[in-house]
Structure 1
Amino acid sequence: MISEKDVISAQHGANSTASTLREVLDSLGLSHDDIRGIRGRSTLQGESYVCLGTISKAGADRLLDVLLAYRFDQLRRRSTPTSPRQP
């Protein structure tokens, strides 16, 4: 059986992650209206979740742009050979 303390801890963890996600998305240019629905949740079994809610089409486009740019950067870094350091 999960204790109330475990459920509260799970909720706190979810809230913390949701808060950080809102801050990051805000810094990436998503509007307050798009990020305000992000909330932490927990179940009575102590499982943590972050609900993203509904965002505008413009917010979704912006989020997609950011995620794709990050993914392309990661792929570019993997495909770029590293040269040994020159003395």
Structure 2
Amino acid sequence: MYFSDKCMPMGCSISCSTFETVSTFLEWAIKMRTGMNNIDHYLDQCKLLLDEFSCLCQELAIPVADVKNVGPVTCITYLGYEPDLT
């Protein structure tokens, strides 16, 4: 019998480098699809980019935790807290 992990533990020395490589590729792919060049690793600019990113990840079979994706909102829960930023 053989067992294999489907995800890389973040404690592994190569994990950060691999994550950065995948993130950079996804950033490039979204730029090519949308024609927008003002995109960063964090897609907080607009709903269109978030939708396009979700579609790309689905096509490439990249798992995404949907509970961690939040569309444009005026109040966000962070670590169980809702900070009052007013």
Instruction: Tell me if both proteins adopt one fold, taking TM over 0.5 as the criterion.
Output: no
TM-score, structure 1 length as denominator? 0.39
Name whichever structure is richer in strand by fraction. Answer: 1
Q: Which has the larger radius of gyration?
A: 1
The answer to which structure, 1 or 2, has the higher relative contact order (CA under 8 A, 6+ apart) is 1
